[in-house]
Structure 1
Amino acid sequence: MIIGQIFGGHYRVINLLGKGGFGETYLAEDIHLPDYPQRVLKLLNPDSNDPFVLQTARRLFETESKVLYKLGTNDRIPELFSHFEENGDFYLVQELIVGHDLTQEITPGKCLSEHEVLHLLHDILEVLSFVHQQGVIHRDIKPSNLMRRQSDGKIMLIDFGAVKQIGTQLQNTQASTNPTIPIGTEGYMPSEQMNGHPKLASDIYAVGMVGIQALTGVSPEQLPKDQNTLEVIWRNRVSINSNLATVLDKMIRYRYQDRYPSAEAALQDIKGIISASLSSTVVSRAPKFNFLNFLSKLPLPAKLGMSVISLGLVTITIMAVAANQFSPSPQPTASPEPTEKWKW
């Protein structure tokens, strides 16, 4: 057990946060800074003494670290503070996000409102758009990898699977073959990703499934598929705005070519729905002017003044009608004689 040990000369391990097939994640504190700020320490153990395997791990680790460092410049993605190698193991040190993941909000049997899901999709696609602009595919978007930051309620995108990707490629290296080991989670992974060929549109599929899960309260792997088209069947479970349903359908198409090509494209359609929803809400809530109600709230002098004005207007109207009623009828005007040119 490594609890209490110091790694990289800076980071003392406090406790274990999680463990997977390719590595471990710990809560640590930076003892070289005031107040010992807490960090997330990720460990990758290649579990091999083969120089070639270690060299491959080192190369992959450096590549993935550069990607994570670049992505961490966005405040909705954990910042990478450090990466180092120690005793044949590889470590990443990232920002600790204070908040909760979306498994606490998206739970079996619980259906979020259309309004909540629209804004959830907006927040996820907003940060994913930045990721896609860097040419990076997350590969494992799901509720447990989406954190709601406590300070402002914003959605944070975590766990880019760098350790998983390195571990997978190391397995391939050690096996001296090139097996396809998909990175991702069942239900959120589209077919091309399961076959080892993820695209930007693969992340779009995952976001769409998160949205449908939030609306229906049903886990993605429990939703049936059409036997002929292999499309996910979900619309019969919830009644929502047809525009939102159309967007979600496009996000989870079976063929990646039929989905949105990037997060930005999907984000624009979600923004359009939110904007239209806000406009209709403003119109429906616009107060109707009630003259009698307005008059009842006026002070007595103002009421008397308004009464005089109203009486005057009524009097003028009656006089105008009477004048029109009793005025002599206009005499018909004789047609002018035709000019000389038109006389017969």
Structure 2
Amino acid sequence: MNILSRRFDRIFWIFDANIYYGSKVFTIVFFKRIFASKQLDEKEESGAISLEAINRSNLGQIFNNRYRLEQVLSDSSYLAIDIKRERCVVIKHIQFKTNRSVYLNEITNFIGLETARLVKLTDSCDLIPELIDYVKAGSNFYLISEYIEGKTISEELANFQPSELDIAKLIKEILTELQLLHDRNIIHKSIEANQIIRRDSDFKLMFIYYGNIDEKCYRTMYDECADSIPKKSHVSGVPCSTPRTWSSEFLAGNPQFSSDIYATGLMGIQLSIGISLRDIPMNPATGKYLWENYCQFSDRLVSILNRMVEDSLRIRYKTIPEVLDDLDLFIE
């Protein structure tokens, strides 16, 4: 695509957004397209191929004319080499499972604005891998970010059973770093042991963070599932799986800073007993996790963890400093 056609395409993209969103958002989108493109590398949608179409046993193919796929990291993430800059990157595949053009237009604009925000954030925050680029191909989006060499918390604790002191110190370390995000008025929303990496170069914790994009994926899927149920159906609930690390207020669309405390507490419980959250039994009457019998922790640490994962916002810790005060007393 030559420069003239790119500019022509960009003008029509902005013009369509103006019709759909009105003049106020037109200005926001206009500046996003003009100025964010200086921060993100130029997107070459015509060269984007679906990662799902790539034979996983035949890596080495070039994605978007720039990224050579080297390794499958997960169902949706790939390690690649940026052949233009000779550096390792991670490609995150995000797919919004919807055929509605209205949803897709909204999602496209959302991703553009959110990635522009993430670029600005990762430029100034050493807790989050740098977002380098993003590519759109139909209903598929690919976020390309800095590769952090190190081990996730899951990998770090994979070969030994942590003691209660190990768990207390780890939670303290995670919450101390997480407070820096809260100080920026950012709720992480996706705290999991495989989303936190200890960087090899300085042993600093790094948080994998895709802003509000993960939540947007879930909300879109939830809406699609809800709409698929007949209005007069007696089926209870919506046939969508929800991450168990999400608190009730998060699922209700009202995340709080204490929602990150809830997720961190669940991660601590899971690491303590070595059982997946999906396999931890729950009291059907209270909704509380029945995990204490799987380990021999003191009542004090059990009390701290249980308060972190308390469903009631009134009882749960409201701020990280509150948790740290109790953890410090326990550790001492």
| Deviation string, structure 1 residues 281-327 (Cα, Å, up to 9, x no partner) | xxxxxxxxxxxxxxxxxxxxxxxxxxxxxxxxxxxxxxxxxxxxxxx
Alignment of 1:27 onto 2:85: no
Q: Provide the residue aligned with 2:162 in structure 1.
A: 112
Name the SS for the 2:314 alignment partner: helix
- Alpha-carbon spacing, 1:88–1:266, altered in 2? closer, same or farther (3 Å): same
Shift of 1:259: 1.1
Alignment of 1:193 onto 2:240: no
Is the CA contact (8 Å cut-off) linking 1:168 and 1:181 kept in structure 2?
Answer: no
2: CA distance between counterparts of 1:224 and 1:171? 26
Is the CA contact (8 Å cut-off) linking 2:246 and 2:263 kept in structure 1?
Answer: yes
Q: Provide the residue aligned with 1:91 in structure 2.
A: 142
Name the SS for the 1:140 alignment partner: coil
Name the SS for the 1:257 alignment partner: coil
Name the SS for the 2:102 alignment partner: helix
| Deviation string, structure 1 residues 217-254 (Cα, Å, up to 9, x no partner) | 34434434445543333344444455433322220112
| Deviation string, structure 1 residues 86-128 (Cα, Å, up to 9, x no partner) | 56643321111112222234459x6312331122112211222
TM-score by length of 1: 0.64
AA paired with 2:79? L
2: CA distance between counterparts of 1:183 and 1:70? 32
2: CA distance between counterparts of 1:182 and 1:201? 24
Q: Provide the residue aligned with 1:280 in structure 2.
A: none
Q: Provide the residue aligned with 1:208 in structure 2.
A: 265
Q: Provide the residue aligned with 1:13 in structure 2.
A: 69
Name the SS for the 2:311 alignment partner: coil
Is the CA contact (8 Å cut-off) linking 2:71 and 2:79 kept in structure 1?
Answer: yes
Name the SS for the 1:13 alignment partner: strand
2: CA distance between counterparts of 1:47 and 1:59? 16
Is the radius of gyration larger for structure 1 or structure 2? Answer: 1
1: CA distance between counterparts of 2:67 and 2:150? 22
Q: Provide the residue aligned with 1:102 in structure 2.
A: 153
**Percent of aligned pairs with the same amino acid:** 28
1: CA distance between counterparts of 2:156 and 2:82? 31
- Alpha-carbon spacing, 1:241–1:14, altered in 2? closer, same or farther (3 Å): same
* RMSD, aligned CA: 3.5
Q: Which moved more, 1:137-146 or 1:172-181?
A: 172-181
- Alpha-carbon spacing, 1:271–1:181, altered in 2? closer, same or farther (3 Å): farther
- Alpha-carbon spacing, 1:52–1:240, altered in 2? closer, same or farther (3 Å): closer
Aligned residue pairs total 266
Unaligned runs of 5+ in 1: 278-344
1: CA distance between counterparts of 2:271 and 2:226? 42
Name the SS for the 2:201 alignment partner: coil
TM-score by length of 2: 0.66
- Alpha-carbon spacing, 1:87–1:213, altered in 2? closer, same or farther (3 Å): closer
AA paired with 1:138? H
